[in-house]
Structure 1
């Protein structure tokens, strides 16, 4: 058992190294194979031990950036995330007893990944296998099978690698057929890429205004942050007037480009109106607006401001961060005065709409910060006609960590999944423009202060991944329930059979 536990610990660290900022994607299959070997041959009652150790090293390493919030928050959140590897251990132990076990084991991985990505309090999707696939052949399958499908493909590669290592000395035609089949499935999207039909172009400006001082605390310097974005937009207008820059069709400011309500704060409102009038095109402002239904709550929104007309469409963040942007069961679980919870005086209300923003003549799918890690938001808006995607983010708190790179990689993968250009506006990094094949056309590094102006393509083509929506994830959860139920029913039948066979024997022996 000691060797199994050491193998699991090493495998978890190797899997974490597949993600940014290390980014060694090729480590995923051997890391998953290591977990299979750590569990293989163990009873379910013991299999959870190495998988839990695997989950501990993986989650604490891949999300070490959570220490920026607080060491206590990092410990608590990762402990919760690691606990999901306990049922994974049970599922792997059950799966490894079946024929075609690499498939069942991969399904268990994806099912648990889906479960922890949505539960509790909307879950934590960071660390999904698919989020480490940028610039790999796996990513080319995204427009065909979506995020959950690619995670399954990666997991299947890992479990199949374990199967091959177990059969390396007895390789036969079946072995070669399995290898060939998996290779074809993996490489096919690269050879037959999904074709996205471009319906036009538009020019977009993304403003990264930076955060004064250490760059970590937006709220403390929120007026300077807003002033930076106003100034850069006005400077862009001057450059356009001088013929030094092309006129954008719209401008994107990041999340928290105003940390106060732009409708009730006269100074902030005047700055936004001045910037919008100067550039002469709509500006999507990332702002905190008071909830009109409850003064004690706030809305995190992307708000379209139009020159001479004021505000238009709004997108409300669908996935506020628990204990960061709202406190679940406020006052009943953890005291509001504990640690940095004092910085969350009002709860952020989650949005529900999947309608894209109307920006001039365009339909734009918007996502705010962590929203980009969830499948239904961007895909749902693209399915409803969005022609391109914008991501507004304020991850200033994590500006010295690998979280920035991890989140930007997810934005790249969303471009491939949806077949849309993606424009990322970050408050102090990383901003960028990504083409539908996942390539970064332009970017601004962390702590940079710059305006990106790029002409991007528009499309109304709907990829198979967008059509599938969240159904692959739902089916993965259904598989967990059905397989667990089948195991329990089979176990009860076996116990009844043992009692039936054992009863008469025991009576005869007593006689």
Structure 2
């Protein structure tokens, strides 16, 4: 036999195992994407966590990082496929960037798998990963949080105790305990005993408790005060990148729909609302600089005769900037209080490093002006209601929504324009986030979308009414105005920081222990 032949079979087996783990990681990431809307198979979020936990267990940190990355890329490609409207290169590019955070988590999972109590540390690392991804880069991109796959599951009520991070932790803990169970069974069999160790039993009971504890969390839905609202979905001419179409078209759609509502009220066919809500970008022209836009809005608001929240694009402080605003429009006094979107979307609503990147990526030139960020919360008085307004993607960011509640918002309003992404699944994902926010803050949530999905969500997360995409429709509802704070409102970001830092500390302890083992091995 030629020299070196005896070593080739183990080497091939090693390569085969490496490729098998890589393929399984990619498959697990793909499958976990179906836990999220529009598919909503939420148990897959638990299975996805379990799969990645088992695949990284006992691996070296760099192998764990690779598996985390391979898990993350197909997960985000499926989840963010709605971005294909902009281009598949954008889908793949953003997915690769987001997957880097899962790569870091994969390295952490491999490191901490050698510690006692590793299912706990692994679950914390999911919160650590989301904590970082929600903030970096350019203010972060929170899509794909485990909590957002569990907005109608037994874990959902936990949001009222610790927000989205606690929901993520509970889901991840169930997944890591699910991964732990077969390992304990195998260990018991190797030891020649048919009795499961007490730790296995305790772990199983903990997983069951995490699933059931949500049912014990009270989620009140009523209030002494109520308000009757009408949500106007005026629709757009066509979805896609050029949804605005001709100037005044989108504005006329919303103004005309409001005037038809006023006619129905006058004829007694529909109860008169206390307030009306228009979506983001309902006015495609600045009403403060365009007399025709101002007159059209004023005419529609006077017709319905109640304060109306108008979404409008308003000129910024210079020619390069524009503001994305929600404006309270009174039928007697005209425009009053306003809220400017705080968190514009990078590369969608503003271009970082514009002068450099626009030369390389000419598509960015379609973002003609950067959105100027606001600095205050969206708490405003809209007739008899003190609302907390957030605009579009801001509903994904914990702090922005929490601030509107803690500063006095009695009902949450999400003004959004998803016309670019109609019939791609993006609107359903954003609807799920709004459902979680309702439970987290104990507030009714009113979604006003230009072309869908508009919805009325009760404080327990139930979708009471909704429109379909690309319909012109008005939703009428009586919703509670609540003042009480949930535990999540009071503790704020505390649980997230504790869980995220716990994951980081566990990685530090595991890395230090590994370094000491290597040092001792060298000495011996």
Same fold (TM over 0.5): yes
The DSSP-based 3-state class of the residue aligned with 2:358 is coil
Deviations 1:287-342 (A, max 9, x none): 11112x3332111111111111111111111221101100012213x125734312
Q: State TM-score, norm by structure 1.
A: 0.94
Which deviates more, 348-357 or 77-86? Answer: 348-357
Could you tell me which of 292, 297, 307 is aligned with 2:331?
307
Could you tell me which of 447, 460, 463 is aligned with 1:440?
463
Alignment of 1:376-395 (within 5 A): 376-395=399-418
**Equivalent residues of 2:239, 2:420 under 8 A apart:** no
CA distance 1:210–1:336, shift in 2 (3 Å): farther
Alpha-carbon distance in 2 for matches of 1:411, 1:360: 23
Could you tell me which of 319, 324, 336 is aligned with 2:348?
324
Cα deviation for residue 488 of structure 1 reads: 4.9
**Structure 1 partner of 2:293:** 268
The DSSP-based 3-state class of the residue aligned with 1:335 is helix
Alpha-carbon distance in 1 for matches of 2:421, 2:296: 27
**Equivalent residues of 1:355, 1:384 under 8 A apart:** no
Cα deviation for residue 414 of structure 1 reads: 0.9
Alpha-carbon distance in 2 for matches of 1:336, 1:453: 48
Alpha-carbon distance in 1 for matches of 2:184, 2:165: 28
Which deviates more, 206-215 or 48-57? Answer: 206-215
**Structure 1 partner of 2:175:** 158
Which deviates more, 450-459 or 359-368? Answer: 359-368
1:136 has 2:136 as partner: no
Cα deviation for residue 221 of structure 1 reads: 3.0
Alpha-carbon distance in 2 for matches of 1:379, 1:287: 24
Alpha-carbon distance in 1 for matches of 2:438, 2:218: 14
Gaps of 5+ in 2: 1-17, 189-195
Deviations 1:393-418 (A, max 9, x none): 11111002011111111111111111
**Equivalent residues of 2:134, 2:141 under 8 A apart:** yes
Could you tell me which of 299, 322, 345 is aligned with 1:298?
322
Cα deviation for residue 354 of structure 1 reads: 2.2
Alpha-carbon distance in 2 for matches of 1:487, 1:342: 47
1:122 has 2:139 as partner: yes
Alpha-carbon distance in 1 for matches of 2:519, 2:238: 70
Alignment of 1:224-239 (within 5 A): 224-239=249-264
Alpha-carbon distance in 2 for matches of 1:221, 1:376: 36
Alpha-carbon distance in 1 for matches of 2:200, 2:385: 52
Deviations 1:14-52 (A, max 9, x none): 110101111111111111111112111211132212111
**Equivalent residues of 1:412, 1:434 under 8 A apart:** yes
Gaps of 5+ in 1: 503-511
Cα deviation for residue 186 of structure 1 reads: 2.6
Number of corresponding residues: 499
Alpha-carbon distance in 2 for matches of 1:251, 1:75: 40
**Structure 1 partner of 2:203:** 178
Kindly report the root-mean-square deviation, in angstroms, between the aligned alpha carbons of the 2 structures. 1.8
**Equivalent residues of 1:117, 1:125 under 8 A apart:** yes
Cα deviation for residue 214 of structure 1 reads: 4.7
